[in-house]
Chain A
Amino acid sequence: MISGEVEANRISVDELEDIAKNRDVALTAYFCRGDECLYVWTDYERGRTEFTATKEFDLRSRPLFHALSGEMDAYRLKCPGNDVISLHYGPLTTGLWEAGAFEILTYGERILNVTPDFGYKRREVEKKVVGRRVEEAIFLIERLCGTYSVAYSNAFCYALENGCPERAEYIRAIALELERLYNHFHVIQRLTAAASQKVAISHFSALVEEILRLNAKLFHHRYAFGLNVPGGVRRNVDVNIIDKKLDAIEKDFEELVNILLSSRIFIDRIHNTATLSREDVLKLDSIGIAARGSGVKRDVRTFDSFYSNVPYRVMCERDGDSLARTVVRIREIRNSIEIIRHLISELPQTALKSEVECNGFRYGRVEAAHGDVFVAVEVKDGVVKWMGIRPASLVNYVAFIHAVERNVFTDFPFAIESFGLSFADSDR
C-alpha cells in the first residue's frame, strides 16, 4: 500500500515554478484548501510523493493544471476559423452510455478540437463526505465511480490506516485485480463494438459478466461495494470459487484474443489511431494506461512494497496509439490473472479487521484500471474534516483531447474507448 502523512513544504511561487520546470516529476494533484494551494508531485522513477503548499497561485506552465482546477475551457481552440462547425454531443446519448457531453470542432471530416463538458454528473462527493464518520464516508467514496469502486475505497482505507491485517490486504488486492479484469474486458468489448464486430462484442461482454458474477459470489455485490471497511474488509473470500472460474476465463480469453488480433479489419481501425507520443505524456502528465501505452513506466504499483512479493510486472508499449493501449491491456489481463493466482495461493490466516484510530491528514494511492487514483483526507476523531480526490480520468481526458486532434471523425469512439475514461469519475 502507498500511503503516508501529508506534509507540505511551504514554498514561494518562484520555487514552485522551478519545480514545474523539472519534467521528471509529474504533477499529480492540485487542491485549494482554505487560503493556500496544495500541489502534489510524483517522481515515478524513485517512487516518491511530495507535497508543496503555496499561497494561491495558478501554475500555467503545466497544461494539466487547468483540468485539475476545473477550467476545461482552457483546452478549447480559440478562433478556429469561419468554416468550422461546432458540435455539441451529449448529455443524453446512447453512444456514450453516460451523462456527459463533448464540444467538437470540425471542418466536416477531421476533428480539430474536442473539449469534454463536465457538470452533468456533479454529485459533489468531496463536499458531502465532510462531517460524516469514516465508516459512512466510505459508501460515498465507493459510489464516486461504481466501476472503479474498489480502487477508490482501497485508497481511502489506506489513507486512514497505518497498516491493516495481512489477510485484508490480500483480499483487497484480489478485489482490485478482479476490478481491473472486468474493466479491461469491457474496454476491449467497447472497441469491438465501435468496429461493429458483433460476435466479438458478445464474447467479450460474456467475459465481463463472468467476472461480475464471480464478484457477486465472493463479495455479495457485483461491483464489490461494501467490501472495504476502515481497518480491514467485511467479507472473507472462498478461494475455491475463484480458482475454478479463473481457469475457464483465462482459457476463453486466450482463444478470443487470438482470433481478435488476427482480424485485420479490427487492427486497421485501432492502429495509428489517437497517437500520444512519449513527449506528450511527459508534457501532459498523463498516467496509467495512457502513459504505459506510450512507453512511460508510470504505475504506482512499481513502488508499492506489497507488490514486491507478487509476480507483478509493468506492461509497456512504445507506439502510443489505440492498438498499443489495447495490447497493454491484454498483457495486464494475463498479469492480473497470474497475480490473483499467486495471492489466493498465499492467502495468510490472520484477522479480517482491526481497530483504527482515525486522526491526522494522510493520503492513499492505488493503481486503478485506467490510472492511479489519489485520495487525501483529513480526519479528526473518526470524522472527515476535509477531503481531496484526484480521479485518474480527469488527468487522462487531457491526454485524450491531445491524442484525438487531427483524427478523422469515425476514429472518435476508438480514441475515447481506448483510454477507458469515465464521466462519473472525473465529474465527481
Chain B
Amino acid sequence: MRWIFRGIKKGILTTKYPEEKPAYDEVPEIGLPVPDKCADFASAESNCPTGAITNAVDAEKCIFCGRCEDFRFKRSRTVELAEVRKTLPFSKSIHVFVADVGSCNACNREVEMLNNPFYDFHRLGIFFTPTPRHADVLLVVGYPVEKTVKALLEAYDAMPEPKVVVAAGSCALSGGIFGEEGIDRYIDVDVRIPGCPPPPIALLHGLLKASGR
C-alpha cells in the first residue's frame, strides 16, 4: 500500500521521446564531438586513441573520451546516430535478445537502464526475452571475444525469421579501444548504434529504427 502512495507521489518520470526531442536532462553534452571553427585537426588526429578523427569524426570509432576537447572540439548533444540497413517487416511489438560478447559492463548497464521508469521501453512495444527462440532482434554489445562469439552465432541460428542484428557500442562496431575489428567479421549487422556506451536514448532510437519506426 505504501508503495502505491509513494508511486503516485513521485508522479510521471517517463521521457516524451520519440514524440519530442530528448530534453537537456536526458542528453546533456555527452554526444559526438564536433569541431569548432578554429579546431586543430592535426593535433586532434594524432591524439585520438582510436583514430576516429580524420577530416571528420567517425562516430563508430569514437570512444567519447573527450581528449579532442583540448583541441577545440566541442561535445554536441547528438546521440541519435543509428544507421539502418534492414528493418523488421513488423513494428508494433519486438522482442530483443541481448548478447554480450565481451563488454566492459557499461553497455550492459545502459541496456538494462531501458527498463527504468525514465525510458520505459515497454510503452513502445519493445521487450527483452530470455531466449533467442522468441527474439526478433539480436542486440550485440561488447568487443568480440572468440569464446563468446561461438555462443552468439548459435543464438543467431536459433532465432526465427525474420530477424535483424543490432550492434551497439564502439567495441562491437569497430573494436573500439580494444582492437581493430568489430563484430562484422562474424555476423552481418543491420542496425549500428554508436556510443561508448550508447546512452539509453541512442539505444531506443536504434531499436525503433530496427522496427521501422
Contact = CB atoms under 8 A, between A and B. Distances in A.
Contacts of A216: 27-28, 30, 199
B116 A208 contact: yes
Interface residues on A, range: 35 or more
B203 to A, nearest CB: 12
A220 B30 contact: yes
Interface string B189-201: 0000000110100
A354 to B, nearest CB: 15
Interface stretch (A161-169, A199-207, A315-323): A199-207
Given A145-B105, A149-B106, A206 B100 contact: no
Interface residues of B, number: 60
B105 A98 contact: yes
Interface string A206-245: 1011001100110011110110000000110000000000
A145 B69 contact: no
A208 B6 contact: no
A125 to B, nearest CB: 8
Interface in B13-45: 13, 25-30
Among A98, A143, A234, A422, the most chain B Cβ lie within 10 Å of the Cβ of A143
Given A140-B177, A424-B103, A121 B2 contact: no
Contacts of B66: 220-221, 225-226, 234-235
Interface centre among B30, B98, B105, B112 (most CB of A within 10 A): B105
A91 B27 CA distance: 32
Nearest to A229: B67
Contacts of B25: 213
Contact of A94 (B30, B105, B130, B197): B130
B89 interface: no
25 contacts: A92-B155, A94-B97, A97-B112, A99-B102, A99-B103, A120-B102, A121-B142, A121-B148, A122-B147, A123-B145, A128-B178, A147-B106, A149-B104, A202-B117, A203-B3, A205-B117, A206-B116, A209-B116, A209-B118, A216-B30, A221-B64, A225-B106, A252-B10, A256-B6, A259-B2
Interface of B: 2-4, 6-7, 10, 13, 25-30, 49, 63-67, 69, 75, 97-110, 112-113, 115-118, 128-130, 132, 142-143, 145, 147-148, 151-152, 155, 171, 176-178, 196-197, 199
